[in-house]
Structure 1
Amino acid sequence: MCVVALAYRVHPDWPIILIGNRDEFHARPAAPLHAWDDGSGIVAGRDLQAGGTWLGVHTQSGRAVVVTNVRGAMPDPAKDSRGAIVTDLLSGQGRFADPAAADLDRFNAFNLFAVGSHGPRRFTNRPRPQISSLAPGVHALANEPVDRPCPRAERLRAALAAVAAAGGDPEGLLDTLTAEGSPALFLMGEVYGTRASTLIAVATDGRARMVERRYEAGGRPGGTTALDFRIGE
């Protein structure tokens, strides 16, 4: 996931909205959005190469997590998979279920939003490891270090802020993620590009809706999954 925005306690009906695009090599295998059958309570897509995920929800607790990579940082195969921290934060189990800032350098470069019992937080290890609490509002991340301005992130943040302030349907933002514009949110490529556009919306009464639109090489549509469930059931 390389550009993502979070609205927390802004929309009158949906206090949690996460939306973003996952950019990745098209050859990297992944399973579509689904409820995992391992007893973890996670609803997410799954990286079939490393076993983790990039974005998901925990159905019992309502925890929601999304991660981006950081471009320009050379990956180190000796480091832990970024998907592992997402999975542990979502499930509330494992070594990284409640990580300290010192743990973040165990992973290749990343930015991450997590919403849970601590409220919304931002995790990053670029330009340095840090965990920051976020106030209610609209926040955005992309594949840039958090101390640099990013036009892609700001474009998505502004679009989400407008919908949230107006009390509009957050699902319409999926069209924003594929619309042409400058800066571009959707990356077309035969080798690398946007693989999925995903929405998470959690309502005040605990209803949750997740929608994933998938794309193949060259931006060709690859299918859509929409799931509705209730947190805690």
Structure 2
Amino acid sequence: MLKFLRPTNGDSPPLRAHPDLVLEFKYCEKSVQRGHTRRFGQPRTDVTVTLQSCCSELDVSIVDRITALLNPQPLCKRNPNKFSGDKHSMNQQSCFYQAVENSSLPVSKLCIKISSPLLIMKHRFPTPDLRPIHDMDRPPWWKRSVRRDFLTFELSDVSFQTLVDSRESSRRYEVQCRDIYGLFQEADNDSFIPFIRTSVDDKNGNSLPDGGQGFGWPRYSLHYLN
């Protein structure tokens, strides 16, 4: 799913000064002094991943294959009697009351950041199959079925970040990069057809701190409500 790029010139690739993947993990808690006791709370976890130049292939149908693998359907089902059904409903009702009465949830934050100087993302389109699952001519769930045409996006100085807050009911995912170059290809051996190009003018950020790093860059934000 993820392949790091190597220089093609020369017989053997030179030793890299930096590793292909760097993972930084940071966990901290806020301490509160009350008399002679000190309490810790509001934990925050920061996960930072730095990748070298790499390429990846995105196929949304892999979600269905992973779901079918992790949640296999039983071969047969047993009808529960009325006593077990009543017990199951009572357990669900007690869990509901417990969740409503105990409204104090632990406060925690998780910040995830992923960055790379160059990311080549190949987006594949799945082939829809509307036949019923019990159809014998339908391909098995573990077999990949995608179209020949695909899209390729080349992102330079790309970064992805999100913050998961236990107190917030929404999630925000943000992708930012310096340049975006979009290509369309009908097959693996066909020529590329460019269809989008977005870049930033570095001259406008010379007077800003850090050389205008991130100022005016293309950005895509997605808000997800639970």
Q: Which has the higher strand share?
A: 2
Using the size of structure 1 for normalisation, the TM-score is 0.21
Which has the higher relative contact order, 1 or 2, with Cα contacts under 8 A spaced 6 or more apart? 1
Using the size of structure 2 for normalisation, the TM-score is 0.21
Larger radius of gyration: 2
